[in-house]
Amino acid sequence: MVAVLRTLYAIFMVLSSASSVCGNILLLMVLLLNKELQSDTLGIILSLGFSDLILGFSAIPFGVHNALSVPLQDGYPSDSALCQASGFILVLLQTSTIHLLTWATIDKFTELCFALSYSSIWTARRSWVVLVMVWLFSLLNASLPLLGFGRYAYSEGRFLCCPDFSPDHQYFVVLWMVVGITVPILSMCFLNGYIVYVGRKQAMTGMFMCNELHCFQVPANNYLRSSIVMVTTSVCLLQCWLPYVSVCLYETFSGQQSPAVISALSTWLVLTSTALNPWITCMTQTRYREAVRRVFSKCLQFGFGMSLESHPQSSVDCLDTSNHIRTPTTTTDTCPASSLTPL
C-alpha cells in the first residue's frame, strides 16, 4: 500500500509540475509578447508567474525524487543544508504566490469599483512598492525558522522538507498559516464575491460597452460569464488550500501525524494550485485567449513554416464583451477612458 501511494504521489506530482511549467511559461510569453496586455501592474503578474514557475521547477520535482528513491524510514536529515534550503524555498514561494494573487485581485477590484480614479490609484511606482513589500514579507516569513523561530524538517507523509508542524513550533505555524495564507485567501474570496455582486447589480441596471463611435447595451447574461471567472477562481483556491491548512493546523495543535494519504493529497493539491493559476488566467479571459492563439500561430509559423490565418482583434479593448464587467455609463458617442481597461 505504501509503495502504491508513493508511486501515485510521484505520478500526480509530475503531471502538476509539467502543467505548472508549461502554463506559466505560456503566460509569461503572452504577457511579454503582447503590449496590449501590459499595464502598470504588469510586474505583479510577471512576478506571480515566475514564482509559480520556480515552484514547479524546484519543490515539486524534489517531492517526486523523495517519493521514488528515498526510503520512508530515513528521508533527508532535517538539519542538512539541502533540507533547510528546500523548506525555505517552499515557504518563500508559497507565501509570495498567495500574496501576489491577493494584490492581483485587489487590482481587479479597484478597476471595477473605482474605475474613474483607477489610473491614479494604480501607478507604476505604487505597483513596484507593493511588489517589493510582498517579497520582503515573504523573505522575512521564510527566514524565521532559520533564525530559530520555527523549524524546517523532512515530512515523511509529504515527501518534502517543510515547516515542522508540531506543538513545539505552533507559534510560527499559526503566524504563517493565519497571516501568510488564510487572511489573503479569505480576502480574495471576499473581493471576488463583491465583484460578482457589483456585476449582478450592473446587469440589473444596465451595462454599456463602447467603441470609438458609440456605446451599446450589453445583454444581462454576459454578467454571468464574468461571475463564473470569479467563482471558479475562489472555488479552486479554497479546494487547493483548505485541506492543506486544515491538516497542518490539526497536526500542530493535536501533536499527532495525519494519515499518509491525507498528508500527500493535501500537499499535492496545494502545489497543484501553481499549475491552475496560469490556465485560469489564460483560458477564462477573451483577450488572453486571443493572445494565446496569436502566440501559437507565430510559433507554428516559425517552427514549421505554416501559413496560418491570424485571428483579428479589436483595436480597442472595450470591445471584449465575453468576460469583463463594465462600469455603467450613459455616454452615447465616446468610450470613457476608465471603461477601456478590461477586468
Instruction: Name which of 323, 312, 271 is nearest 108 in CA terms.
Output: 323
**Residue 45, domain CATH:** 1.20.1070.10
Q: How many helices (H) and strands (E) does the chain have?
A: 11, 4
| Strand runs labelled E in 152-289 | 152-155, 160-163, 207-210, 215-218
Residue with cell 492543506: 244
Phi-psi region for residue 283, left (φ > 0), alpha (ψ -120 to 50) or beta?
alpha
**Virtual CA dihedral for 286, 325, 112, 125, nearest 10 degrees?**
10
Per DSSP, the three-state class of 191 is helix
pTM of the predicted structure, to 2 decimals: 0.77
Query: Residue length, the chain?
Result: 343
Q: How does pLDDT run along the chain (343 residues), one tens digit per residue? A: 577 778 888 888 888 888 888 888 888 877 787 777 777 778 888 888 888 888 888 888 888 877 777 665 555 677 888 888 989 999 999 999 999 989 988 888 887 777 677 778 888 888 899 999 999 999 999 999 999 898 898 888 888 888 988 888 889 999 999 888 999 999 988 888 887 777 677 666 655 555 555 555 555 555 556 667 777 778 888 888 999 999 999 989 988 888 888 888 888 888 888 888 777 766 656 666 677 777 667 666 666 654 444 444 444 444 343 444 444 443 333 333 333 333 4
Give the residue numbers spanning the domain of 12: 2-340
**Structural domain total, the chain:** 1
